[in-house]
Structure 1
Amino acid sequence: MNNNLRNWIIFSTVVLLTGLVLSQQIDRKSNHPSDSSVTAKVMRTENSESPKIGHTAPPFSLTGIDGKSYELIKMRPKPVILNFWASWCGPCQDEAATFVKLNKQFGDRIQILAINLTAADSVKSAQQFARTYGFTFPVLLDTDGRIAARYKIRAIPSTMFIDGQGIISDVVLGALSWDTLHNRALSLLKD
């Protein structure tokens, strides 16, 4: 079997397993009685806030690996790039350096939030990943899969570009090359 076919099979398997794990987490959380108020709240906000281009990004608050709390709405008026990832994801590893490079270039004008799908990963692995790749931007922990479910994340990496008014302007599924990430960041700054 040639390397391209083997790599494609591995990548496809990882994407499928990620979807299955996230689906199980979502199903488990939505069937839990104490989560009914959260589910109702999410359903009420989906009319005006949706993880779709042209809609307001759904608000959230998550704790980072630094122990601080981060709220999406408090990032305004700075544009935000949300990157959903896991430490075991090969394409996430491939694109990590591009986010570090982008943060060095635009970190004063664009906020990068790296959201680890901790429900399918671990805090320790997320911390190690951030150290290994030199992340200096916030690494947030989605420990129960609630934010991934709210943003309808089915494959990783997934990246959302949010303008200074909180509107999703672009969504990319899969690893980002430097050119693609850089060009989309420049578009965010023009909005």
Structure 2
Amino acid sequence: MNRNRWILVGVIVCLAVVLYENSGQSILSRFSDKTKNSSPSEQTLSNLIAENTPKPGTPSPAFSLTGLDGHNYEVGGKRDKPLLLNFWASWCDPCKEEAPDLVNLYKKYGDKMDFYGVNVTAYDKLENAKKFVEEYHYTFPILLDEKEEVYRMFNGIAFPTNALIDKNGVIQEVIIGILPPEELEAKVKKLLEDS
């Protein structure tokens, strides 16, 4: 019952993101907009989100998760390669839309950078996640965030969320929602150039 409630919350959050994107206003600008008309509670929410969200230029939260392949994957601190960290759920339509773009990016840049897909299994079912991976031909590591702990570390508010992390373990960007494929690729190229 409690899990279903969280799934419903996730669906509502995804719907809210879509509505904000379609209105021409990003969710981040909505939270960071501190106009004179903002109520104290809105400003408190905005400050809380701003304080807890990993920001570009700050170290990535450190974590360790097990992948579908049974291997343990760690993030935090220096790395051999930059990393694209993708948080998703199998029922998320924007995640389905983004999946082919991630596959193409991995084929193109997988030798120069790491790609980790993080299924937030606390909002999903393992069986559905495995079907998603098979359907969209994911060949990069898929990590299982069964308790939502890592998603919370990144203050996840919507699926998909992508974090671009450089070789020093420093977050370069957090992207909430999907981008056109060419924009996401441009960000990946910049990460590679700067690393």
Q: TM-score range by the shorter chain?
A: 0.7 to 0.9
Q: What's the secondary structure of 1:156's corresponding residue?
A: coil
Q: Which amino acid aligns with 2:14?
A: V
Seen in structure 2, the aligned counterparts of structure 1 residues 165 and 103 have a Cα distance that, compared at 3 Å, is same
Q: Please, what is the CA RMSD of the aligned residues?
A: 2.4
Q: Which amino acid aligns with 1:15?
A: C
Alignment of 1:49-88 (within 5 A): 51-73=54-76, 76-88=79-91
**Do 1:50 and 1:151's aligned partners in 2 also have CA atoms closer than 8 Å?**
yes
1:170 paired with 2:170, answer: no
Q: Which amino acid aligns with 1:123?
A: L
Q: Which runs of 4+ in 1 moved over 3 A?
A: 11-14
Alignment of 1:131-146 (within 5 A): 131-146=134-149
**Do 2:59 and 2:76's aligned partners in 1 also have CA atoms closer than 8 Å?**
no
Aligned to 1:8: none
Q: How many angstroms does 1:142 deviate by?
A: 0.3
Q: What's the secondary structure of 2:58's corresponding residue?
A: coil
Seen in structure 2, the aligned counterparts of structure 1 residues 66 and 17 have a Cα distance that, compared at 3 Å, is farther
Q: Which runs of 5+ in 2 are unaligned?
A: 1-9, 18-50
Seen in structure 2, the aligned counterparts of structure 1 residues 17 and 126 have a Cα distance that, compared at 3 Å, is farther
**Do 2:164 and 2:173's aligned partners in 1 also have CA atoms closer than 8 Å?**
yes
Q: Which has the higher helix share?
A: 1
What TM-score does the superposition give when structure 1 sets the normalisation length? 0.74
What TM-score does the superposition give when structure 2 sets the normalisation length? 0.72
Q: Which amino acid aligns with 1:122?
A: K
Q: Which runs of 5+ in 1 are unaligned?
A: 1-10, 19-46
Identity of aligned residues (%): 40
Q: What's the secondary structure of 1:84's corresponding residue?
A: strand
Q: How many angstroms does 1:172 deviate by?
A: 0.9
Equivalent residue in structure 2 for 1:100, among 80, 98, 103: 103
Q: Which amino acid aligns with 2:74?
A: E
